[in-house]
A = this chain, B = another copy of it.
Amino acid sequence: LAVGIVTKLNTPIVVELNMKIGIVGLGLIGASLAGDLRQLGHDLSGVSRQIETCETAVSRGMVDRASTELGSLQDTEVIFICTPIASILSTIEQLVPHLAPTTIITDAGSVKGAIASPASQLWRNFVGGHPMAGKAESGISAAELGMFAGNPYILTPLPDTPSHAIEVVTKLVRALDCRFYLATPEQHDRAVAWISHLPVMVSTSLISACLHGDDMEVLTLAQNLASSGFKDTSRVGGGNPELGRMMAEYNRDALLRSLRQYQVELEGTIDAIESHNWEQIQGLLAQNQIARNKFLN
């Protein structure tokens, strides 16, 4: 598999492995991944800080066993770290003393530049990953089987990532029936900045503008008249504040790059309206009506 270029491999593959897999973090992503991998015949050990979450994961059949101790993963062959971004590197540091050097670690963080390189420094057999299935709810109670099927899953190996580690994680992940991509961490972060992190900032600025831009009578009328157009455009900007903050904090450079390009485009739209250039506005909207279709999967 070529690293450093965007690759899409769509054909489902048969996994002949029956591996000992560890999952750290049994939230929406971790518990769903565990459930799918266990159903494929692998042996699953889960780790959560909450004993109640461990019990739920076992009783719902998502893992074979679960523990609050990272040391319980000492005999696993592959470990998926599905904690919040801020805990990924510290989790690897705490795992290191327990693991055999052949153990492969991958993660599920939604940014990769801030993770892939330092994680590979901590553990040679590290392959950055990002499963993009998700829903508004979080936690193990929202977890379900088959959540990754048909959705993107990106791996972001580095030039010096051992090819065996890439192959093993690729096989495990592709068996989930996901749409599989390989990219560099920077390509990944720029792509998600465009389609995930930029929309959050664009959308939240819309809510801010509506709140601050007019008198109380017009604001009240606007609130009463708002319908599906405003609702859809403001949805991600009115979403989880901690998640939005993490996007900005951990993908700052790519997000700022996207925001500056967005400012240029917005300025162009405003200029056309100021100069009564209605043909240009209509042309812009017609171009974007067509272009948007390529973003709908």
Contact = CB atoms under 8 A, between A and B. Distances in A.
Interface of A: 5-6, 8, 132, 134, 151-152, 154, 179, 181, 183, 187-188, 190-192, 194-196, 198-214, 217-227, 229-242, 244-245, 248-249, 252, 255-270, 273-274, 276, 278, 281-289, 291-297
A35 B104 CA distance: 66
Given A195-B229, A225-B195, A249 B278 contact: yes
B256 A263 contact: no
B230 A195 contact: yes
A204 B269 CA distance: 9
Given A201-B269, A295-B222, A297-B226, A285 B241 contact: yes
A259 to B, nearest CB: 5
Contact of A195 (B152, B222, B235, B292): B222
Q: How many copies altogether?
A: 2
Contact of A227 (B151, B229, B273): B151
A178 to B, nearest CB: 12
Contacts of A282: 241-242, 244-245
A234 to B, nearest CB: 5
A179 B244 contact: no
